[in-house]
Structure 1
Amino acid sequence: MPSTFPPGEPSPVDGQLPPAALAGLGKRPFGIYLHVPFCRTRCGYCDFNTYTAAELGSEPGASRDTYIDAAIAELDLAVTVLGERPQVESIFVGGGTPTLLPAADLARFVQAVGDRFPIAPGAEVTTESNPESVTEADLEVLAAGGFTRVSFGMQSAVSHVLQVLDRTHTPDRPQQMVAAARRAGIDQVSLDLIYGTPSESLEDWSRSLAAALSAEPDHISAYALIVEEGTALAAQVRRGIVPMPDDDDLADKYLLAERELTAAGYRAYEISNWAIDERARCRHNLGYWRGDDWWGIGPGAHSHVGGVRWWNVKHPRAYAARLDGGRSPAFEREVLTRAERHTERVLLELRTSDGLPLDVLNDRGRRAVPELTRRGLLREEQQRLLLTLDGRLLADAVTRELVD
């Protein structure tokens, strides 16, 4: 969860939603996200809402020991606010470093979801993990507790790149943990990579891709490094210690990833995500890109139900204090207008390999299509618009042409 919030209006103290937002509840896919805000150390590039033990101490609400109890209290609030109990298609535990919590606590959260909501047969249940923060025994507990998917933060297989990113794991640890997850009975395994780190050569990036592929995960994510304001990396760039990522370098590395991953049998189903088959696509994230409903639990977590988006207070102590006082932890919200929902649909659905139905576009957008097609950025297939490979590199610019 990013640490900066968009502008919004104050959320109701009881967390209630407008009747219009609840009108289609249960007709759209519904997911639950749990944000775990704890990390052992803060990575220099990270802008997520996370805290180290040294920053939090052991005050009430900041302790890992009681965190799942607070999360379950918000689950109870969700039951009250929603009024009905939609079927849960996916559960995603992100961070931070979720596996800094005991595996039994994460399994207890999944059980608590199942005690309060019907869980769809074959639901996807994911946790992220730092490769150094989990053992094979932990993975066995997670598998027994209902987790079907784990996503390891690999980032790179090159020591000097990991050092720039402030990552503490050894280069081959993620590959070892992929094998451990399979032995533990986890059905789907993903590796997350970052490209464009200062000092990372094209050869370095090729080594990281080869290392990830050697582990034979079901899914690989590859994200361009973004220098976020307020991070240690941004300060280093500002002082001239490291350079800003170069757009041409990022494009070269993206194209290399596409070539290498495609040659290995993976297919991009979203700009930054490749899966070995359709079953390996991350269903929870697809829900975000389709504009489905989800309830986000935890400090700083974002939620969306029926065109209303809200976000919780950021600090773990403030989050726990609100729940202890019988109040919603929601800080602010926005009720999306028809125009905003249209823009978001174009922006998000166009990122996926399924593309965007042509009839979603307004007249302005339709007029832009022929020129974007002529420039090789879009193609039309069965009344849907799809980004070409060049279009993926310029996805933000293409979206602006279609919605401005």
Structure 2
Amino acid sequence: MGSALPLGEPAPADGMLPHDVRTDPFADFGVYLHVPFCRVRCGYCDFNTYTATELRGAKQEEYADTLLREVSLARGVLTSAGPVRPASTVFFGGGTPTLLPAGDLVRMLDGARDAFGFADGAEITVEANPDTVTDAVAAELAAAGVTRLSIGMQSAVPHVLAALDRTHEPANVATAVGAARAAGLDVSLDLIYGAPGESLDDWRRSLDTVVGLEPDHVSAYALIIEDGTKLARQIRRGEVPAPDDDLQADMYELADQRLSTAAYDWYEVSNWSRGSAHRSRHNLAYWRGTDWWGFGPGAHSHIGGVRFWNVKHPAAYAQRLAAGESPAAGRERPDAASRELEEVLLRTRIREGMPVAELRTESRHAVAALIADGLIDGGAAVHGRIVLTLRGRLLADAVVRALTS
């Protein structure tokens, strides 16, 4: 059911931002719509998600109406901080958004459009499990304005899917891609590498399958063992091996080589696209530190330098909104040191990098050593930007430490 919420000061019951916060009317604004429902809990998952037996008083069929109450509240809060900006990106995440009827997702989308408006050419993404995508679902989402489907493929190999507790049939990925294409949607495929028992050949098979499906975008994430998950307990008991760092590095290098050969360009450490037009603009907004409002239980938001987060359980979320209160549990305004660390951590992950001039003077002294170690691109640094090399992407945490210590 997800990791613990961060520490912070209590958020006010009305959800209002601090009185001195003013938003930039010309800056991008994103909307994240969290759908916290899953048929089963995957053993590695640390997201704030719930199966039917864990809902305890919350009802899936009432969820869209509940979330729309928060959308209405958000408009009032944002109006107090400046002009309401149209959303440039909308992202339905989860959980499994497509466990809800497509009509519920459409109502949520329409509610956000009515509250904020959408910018011309807004990117609107829905995450989906391959087993939940049909021609009818894809067509209904596309007709409502959805532009992009992000399909949780994870692997093409049955025993790897089983190790991850994924329940979909591998063949259904191609069916889902076909349905999305028929509806005119962009397609992203999401992969995880380093699962217990997964070999380099297994991973190559998944990459070959992805390339054969010709998506517009590919995400590939190393499996991370989160405390409190089923997989963490299995590893602790010695039932399955922990991920092998060297093997995961080999898998990453293979992914970059295979995807690059197939004309996919990396634009963030774990993401590749066919041309800049197919990059995930919503996720880029996170890495660039722009404003977004996250709707739903456990969702996080960032508005005008203030971060806040909602109560986690869907029942508590619904109760607060039914009482006319904000679902926000807490908030914080990061200090200068925290903002600096976060800026380096996020912006060095993307291909455009970050300007050397924005580093502290003492941090700039580390640049030459990082070039010598092959971790950042020397040519880009000469032109004033920190851009990771392939080796640097594998050791991105070390680069951040060197630039912030």
Report the TM range for the smaller structure's normalisation: over 0.9
Q: Deviations over 1:265-315 (max 9, x none)?
A: 000000000001101000000000000000000000000012111110000
How far, CA to CA, are the matches of 2:38 and 2:2 in structure 1? Answer: 14
Per-residue deviation, 1:27: 2.6
Per-residue deviation, 1:4: 2.6
**Alpha-carbon contact 1:39-1:97 (below 8 Å) kept:** yes
Paired residue type of 2:99: L
User: What is the match of residue 210 of structure 1?
Assistant: 208
User: What is the match of residue 217 of structure 2?
Assistant: 219
Per-residue deviation, 1:378: 0.9
**Alpha-carbon contact 1:175-1:212 (below 8 Å) kept:** no
Q: Deviations over 1:194-213 (max 9, x none)?
A: 00001000000000001111
User: What is the match of residue 399 of structure 1?
Assistant: 400
Q: Aligned pair 1:12/2:12, yes or no? A: yes
User: What is the match of residue 312 of structure 1?
Assistant: 310
User: What is the match of residue 150 of structure 1?
Assistant: 149
How far, CA to CA, are the matches of 1:197 and 1:243 in structure 2? Answer: 9
Distance 1:378 1:2, change over 3 A: farther
Structure 2, unaligned stretches of length 5 or more? none
- Structure 2 residue aligned with 1:303, among 301, 314, 317? 301
How far, CA to CA, are the matches of 1:200 and 1:358 in structure 2? Answer: 39
Structure 1, unaligned stretches of length 5 or more? none
How far, CA to CA, are the matches of 1:342 and 1:330 in structure 2? Answer: 25
Q: Aligned pair 1:190/2:188, yes or no? A: yes
User: What is the match of residue 349 of structure 1?
Assistant: 347
How far, CA to CA, are the matches of 1:2 and 1:147 in structure 2? Answer: 27
Q: SS of the counterpart of 2:195? A: coil
- What is the percentage of aligned positions where both structures have the same residue? 56
User: What is the match of residue 47 of structure 1?
Assistant: 46
TM-score (norm 2): 0.97
Q: Deviations over 1:96-155 (max 9, x none)?
A: 000000101111111111111121011000010001122111111000111000100000
Paired residue type of 2:361: D
Q: SS of the counterpart of 2:238? A: coil
**Most deviating of 30-39 and 11-20:** 11-20
- For residues 321-400 of structure 1, what are the structure 2 equivalents within 5 Å? 321-380=319-378, 381=380, 382-400=383-401
Q: SS of the counterpart of 1:190? A: strand
Per-residue deviation, 1:50: 0.6
**Most deviating of 288-297 and 48-57:** 48-57
Q: Deviations over 1:40-77 (max 9, x none)?
A: 000011001111112225x3xx1111101111100111
**Alpha-carbon contact 2:377-2:386 (below 8 Å) kept:** yes
User: What is the match of residue 95 of structure 2?
Assistant: 96
How far, CA to CA, are the matches of 1:19 and 1:349 in structure 2? Answer: 29
- For residues 18-57 of structure 1, what are the structure 2 equivalents within 5 Å? 18-21=18-21, 23-56=22-55
Count the aligned residue pairs: 399
Q: Deviations over 1:206-260 (max 9, x none)?
A: 0000111111000000000011111110010000011110110110000000000
Per-residue deviation, 1:3: 3.1
Paired residue type of 1:125: I
Q: Aligned pair 1:278/2:276, yes or no? A: yes
Per-residue deviation, 1:2: 4.8
**Alpha-carbon contact 1:3-1:300 (below 8 Å) kept:** no
User: What is the match of residue 73 of structure 1?
Assistant: 69
Q: Aligned pair 1:121/2:120, yes or no? A: yes
